[in-house]
């Protein structure tokens, strides 16, 4: 990477991180949401939902412990969608034009934006995991290190997904609707809140939907990574969907939506 | 340094916003005048690569836009009609961010525009958040930003809209001086006639077509009208006047 690219990459990442810290309410809501799930929701459900011994856990675990990877992925999902929302906003408000005035290739500029978003996700997850320790969530030290590449990969995938969605959306108002149709189905139809064998007992077709949901692969990838392990099927799935989705996101990018020649 | 468009057209659906536009713009201060909807912003969007022309081509300094986007973007500074500065960042951070997008280090960027910042009276406001600046100062920041990579072509799309008289005057005069001092090609789109002086190169655009192009005074003489306002009225009859 020559210096021109390096300066550009640095500039985009620094700007997005700086803006994130300027928006304190965004940081706060990014943390409060999963912490509420962890403290309130998990407390209510731990009695109702027993989690038997399963991989990668070597023993019985609490429900809090079980949902931590799912909540981490929820943070990443929300952040990915929020970054894309800000791209729709930038496109409507005109600041996207500034980015596109760069002489560097557009795929590089968009990838830099995705990396910046992934770094922000990583930061939020680390802060969440720090607080999670105080509610009896026990993660081995090595898990914090092995989780980093997993979080980054998941964040890149979900950021690309958001970017692809933002390309399909013409107006800011429509984005909220699409987010509801994406975030909630992805999250609830996954292993984030309950093991899939529980879902299989309840409904076989829902179980298969959960199995084919790439978000399930994200949750499982992170669940194993937090214990220093690799889940090969989840890793392969996340890698494949990341490559596919980011390719389509970059290819379908339109600087000005609905503004093309005849 | 020149901008040349050759049979350039752009359609929104079936409606032509710019139609068969043949234009040559040389260095100096060039005014693009036209009423709302004349096609000025569409032309700007094509010149900056944001819109793909429906047909025709654009050459900047001899480079065809389709094949030399990177080279052209390096030599082009743009001030858009809509404000594009980041309100949550300081003046300096906005400038440094834009410089980074151009592949320039922050120190080099600030050196490049040290004089410009001083002329635009922004040196003391570098650390202020853009949100705290008034409209005139925000525009100055955008002009400084557009010059950070020493462009040879400067495009300003209705850069003075919404500003008070003093700010408009200051910015118009500054850009005119700049075009002479730096020898760059400036394309200044406006619908405000009082920003045009008799010696300016004038292009009147209406309904996506060039009506006239030449030095303002000479155009008035040729068309036998007293001033630019009358010339404009004559060439844009039945169109909204600002």
List, for residues A4-22, the tens digit of each pLDDT value: 999 999 999 999 888 888 8
Q: Distance between CA A113 and CA B65 in Å, rounded?
A: 25
Residues B117 and B99 grouped into a single domain = yes
User: Quick check: A79 and A30 in contact, CB under 8 A?
Assistant: yes
Strands of the B153-157 sheet, one edge to the other: B76-79, B153-157, B185-190, B28-33, B201-206, B209-215
Residues B158 and B238 grouped into a single domain = yes
Nearest to A191 by CA among A155, A158, A224: A224
Domain end position, chosen among B125, B150, B175: B150
Q: Distance between CA B10 and CA A251 in Å, rounded?
A: 22
- The residues near A30 (Cβ < 8 Å, ≥ 6 apart) are A75, A78, A79, A124
User: Quick check: B216 and B197 in contact, CB under 8 A?
Assistant: yes
Residue B41: give the domain boundaries.
1-75+152-242
- Say if A260 falls within a structural domain: no
Q: Distance between CA B7 and CA A97 in Å, rounded?
A: 25
Domain CATH code at residue B187: 3.40.50.300
Per-residue buried b or exposed e for A115-136, using 16+ beta carbons within 10 Å of the residue's own CB = bbbbbbbbbbbeebbeebeeee
Residues B69 and B162 grouped into a single domain = yes
- Say if A261 falls within a structural domain: no
- Greater confidence, A153 or A24? A153
- Say if A106 falls within a structural domain: yes
CB contact under 8 A, A260 and B51: yes
In angstroms, the Cα distances linking A51 to A71, A149, A195, B131 are: 17, 27, 8, 52
Residues B105 and B57 grouped into a single domain = no
- Say if A39 falls within a structural domain: yes
Residue B13 has pLDDT above 60, yes or no: yes
For chain B, the domain total comes to: 2
- Considering only CB atoms, A94 lies closest to which of B71, B82, B101, namely B82
pLDDT in tens, B178-207: 898 888 999 999 888 888 988 899 999 998
Report the residue of chain B nearest A106, measured CA to CA. B70
- Say if A96 falls within a structural domain: yes
Residue A158: give the domain boundaries.
3-251
Residue A50 has pLDDT above 70, yes or no: no
Residue B30, beta-bridge partner list = B187, B201
- Considering only CB atoms, A95 lies closest to which of B10, B76, B86, namely B86
How, if at all, do strands B153-157 and B76-79 pair? parallel
Give me the count of residues in chain B: 242
- Considering only CB atoms, B84 lies closest to which of A22, A23, A98, namely A98
Q: Distance between CA A253 and CA A166 in Å, rounded?
A: 9
Model confidence band, residue B22 (pLDDT cutoffs 50, 70, 90): very high
What value does the mean pLDDT take over residues A239-256? 88
Residue A37 has pLDDT above 50, yes or no: yes
CA A18 to chain CA mean position, Å:
20
DSSP B137-163: HHHHHHHHHHTTT--SEEEEESTTTT-
Model confidence band, residue B20 (pLDDT cutoffs 50, 70, 90): very high
Distance from CA of B36 to the nearest CA of A (A): 18
For chain A, the domain total comes to: 1
- Say if A153 falls within a structural domain: yes
- Say if A176 falls within a structural domain: yes
CB contact under 8 A, A261 and B51: yes
User: What was the pLDDT predicted at B96?
Assistant: 94
Whether residue B68 lies within 8 A of chain A, CB to CB, comes out as no
Model confidence band, residue A51 (pLDDT cutoffs 50, 70, 90): low
Taking contacts as CB-CB distances below 8 angstroms, the residues of chain A near B103 are 3-5, 7-8, 102-104
- Say if A135 falls within a structural domain: yes
CB contact under 8 A, A7 and B99: yes
Domain end position, chosen among B88, B120, B150: B150
Whether residue B15 lies within 8 A of chain A, CB to CB, comes out as no
pLDDT in tens, A118-174: 999 999 999 999 998 888 788 899 999 999 999 999 999 999 998 888 887 767 666
Residue B210, beta-bridge partner list = B205
Residues B240 and B212 grouped into a single domain = yes
CA count, 13 A, side-chain hemisphere, A105? 6
Residues B165 and B45 grouped into a single domain = yes
Q: Distance between CA A155 and CA A77 in Å, rounded?
A: 7
Domain end position, chosen among B102, B128, B150: B150
Q: For tokens 């000479």, name the residue.
A: B218
Whether residue B132 lies within 8 A of chain A, CB to CB, comes out as no
User: What was the pLDDT predicted at B145?
Assistant: 93
Taking contacts as CB-CB distances below 8 angstroms, the residues of chain A near B141 are none
Residues B123 and B239 grouped into a single domain = no
CA B26 to chain CA mean position, Å:
14
Q: Where are the beta strands (DSSP E) in chain B?
A: 2-12, 15-26, 28-33, 55-60, 63-64, 76-79, 153-157, 185-190, 201-206, 209-215
pLDDT in tens, B40-96: 889 999 999 888 899 999 999 888 988 898 899 999 999 988 888 988 889 999 999
Structure tokens at B175: 């850009």
Residues B125 and B216 grouped into a single domain = no
In angstroms, the Cα distances linking A158 to A144, A152, A206, B64, B182 are: 20, 10, 22, 37, 46
Whether residue A25 lies within 8 A of chain B, CB to CB, comes out as no
CB contact under 8 A, B100 and A100: no
User: Quick check: B33 and B236 in contact, CB under 8 A?
Assistant: no
In angstroms, the Cα distances linking A70 to A99, A204, A216 are: 34, 21, 9
Residues B67 and B112 grouped into a single domain = no
Q: Angle between the A3-22 and A24-36 helix axes, to the nearest 10 degrees?
A: 70
């Amino acid at each position: 990477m020559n210096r021109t690219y390096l300066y550009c990459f640095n500039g985009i990442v620094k700007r997005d991180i700086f803006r994130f810290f300027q928006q304190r309410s965004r940081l706060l809501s990014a943390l409060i949401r999963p912490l509420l799930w962890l403290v309130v929701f998990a407390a209510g459900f731990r009695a109702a939902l027993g989690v038997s011994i399963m991989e990668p856990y070597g023993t019985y675990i609490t429900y809090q412990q079980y949902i931590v990877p799912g909540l981490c992925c929820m943070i990443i999902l929300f952040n990915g969608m929020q970054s894309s929302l800000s791209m729709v906003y930038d496109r409507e408000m005109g600041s996207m034009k500034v980015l596109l005035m760069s002489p560097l290739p557009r795929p590089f500029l968009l990838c830099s934006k995705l990396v910046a978003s992934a770094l922000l996700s990583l930061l939020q997850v680390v802060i969440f995991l720090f607080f999670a320790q105080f509610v009896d969530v026990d993660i081995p030290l090595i898990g914090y290190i092995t989780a980093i590449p997993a979080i980054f990969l998941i964040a890149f995938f979900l950021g690309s997904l958001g970017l692809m969605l933002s390309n399909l959306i013409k107006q800011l108002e429509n984005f909220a609707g699409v987010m509801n149709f994406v975030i909630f189905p992805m999250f609830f139809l996954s292993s984030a809140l309950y093991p899939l064998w529980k879902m299989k007992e309840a409904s076989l077709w829902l179980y298969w939907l959960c199995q084919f949901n790439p978000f399930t692969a994200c949750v499982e990838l992170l669940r194993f990574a937090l214990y220093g392990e690799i889940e090969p099927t989840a890793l392969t799935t996340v890698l494949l969907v990341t490559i596919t989705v980011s390719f389509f996101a970059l290819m379908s990018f339109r600087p000005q939506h609905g503004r093309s020649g005849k | 340094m020149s901008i040349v468009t050759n049979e350039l057209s752009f359609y929104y659906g079936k409606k032509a916003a710019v139609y068969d536009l043949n234009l040559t713009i040389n260095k100096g201060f060039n005014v693009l005048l036209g009423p709302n909807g004349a096609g000025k912003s569409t032309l700007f969007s094509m010149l900056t690569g944001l819109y793909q022309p429906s047909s025709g081509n654009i050459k900047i300094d001899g480079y065809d836009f389709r094949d030399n986007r990177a080279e052209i973007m390096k030599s082009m500074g743009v001030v858009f009609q809509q404000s594009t500065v980041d309100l949550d960042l300081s003046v300096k951070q906005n400038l440094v961010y834009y410089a980074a997008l151009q592949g320039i280090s922050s120190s080099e960027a600030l050196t490049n525009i040290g004089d410009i910042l001083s002329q635009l009276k922004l040196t003391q406001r570098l650390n202020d958040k853009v949100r705290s600046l008034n409209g005139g100062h925000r525009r100055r920041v955008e002009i400084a930003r557009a010059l950070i990579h020493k462009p040879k072509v400067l495009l300003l799309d209705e850069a003075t809209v919404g500003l008070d008289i003093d700010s408009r005057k200051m910015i118009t005069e500054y850009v005119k001086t700049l075009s002479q001092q730096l020898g760059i090609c400036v394309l200044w789109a406006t619908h405000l006639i009082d920003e045009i002086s008799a010696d300016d190169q004038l292009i009147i655009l209406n309904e996506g077509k060039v009506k006239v192009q030449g030095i303002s005074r000479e155009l008035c003489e040729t068309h036998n009208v007293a001033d630019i306002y009358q010339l404009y009225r004559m060439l844009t009859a039945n169109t909204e006047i600002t």
